[in-house]
Structure 1
Amino acid sequence: MLFADFAAELAKFPEHELVFTFGDTTIGRGYHLTEVLRLTVDAVDCGGAQDHWKETVLQLVDSPAVEGRAPMSAKKVGGILRRSQAMVPLVPDSELVLEFRPVGALAAQRYHVSEIVSGAAGSLRVVTHGARTQCKAAERSGTVCGADKSAGGSSRCCAPRGASGRPRAAVRCCA
């Protein structure tokens, strides 16, 4: 989901409580939005292709449930985003990413927002899916990256492409 779409959904339902779900886990009612980040990613994949994108990251901290404490409202989170926007301009068409460390996990994990569902009793459920790693070069070439040629695989996925689209000298990053 794009940042602008997320902000627009919050504006539609200002009094609704935001409930974040991460797979089978729902963040505790006492969660805290601890940081808003604007990221610009400049990357080179194992096939030598450059890529650029922008992300808006919301970092959430799970807090123990406190009796009577409600999740943050869409209005409150929207206000935090507007104040953040005034200080660090957030990119409307950037991908929205959540960082969160589920109970029992050793480190924070990244999640992408799939959708926001208006739920019962005045809640908005933010549905996420975990970020995945990928070999973009293999996806572009339709090969299995790192596969042994003798097993029918191809290391051509890691060959940077020239202007003609043909592989240049292969790099051995995926082997």
Structure 2
Amino acid sequence: MSEITYVRGDATVPSVKGVKVIAHVCNDIGGWGKGFVLAVSRRWPEPEAAYRAWHRDRASNDFALGAVQLVRVERYAWVANMIGQRGVRTGSKGVPVRYEAIDTALARLADHAAGLDASVHMPRIGCGLAGGKWSRIEPMVTERLVRRGIPVTVYDHGD
């Protein structure tokens, strides 16, 4: 069985052939403006516009923790907006990351990636502003994606 590949670099510029899905975690309050989403927005305007519309029309769609929105940004590239954090601030209820929601979103992402015959590329999702621990998220990525035969590359930003 293959494992997660770790590389230094920018998850928005995967250097592999074939169809690619760039996955990242979003919050459930419509906020887009800090962290990895800035790198996404520097490359493509579509994921932010789609996320904001998805949030705005949430009364009539599936926008909620655990949901995934796939946005096509290039012929062979998609961005997966995954709702995996509650709000944006650490407070009385702890950090914003919601592990159950990330797990659900990863399972949905796996279905999309399998259907597209795509590889998945991501930063250490849920571990930046969301405050999560990679030691809890990595096993979910392995279980939901790698075990299904979906190639996964995790990017650590180079200095």
Larger Rg: 1 or 2? 1
Sort the TM-score into its range (normalised by shorter chain): under 0.3
Higher helix share: 2
TM-score, with length taken from structure 1:
0.26
More RCO (CA 8 Å, sep 6+): 2
Higher strand share: 1
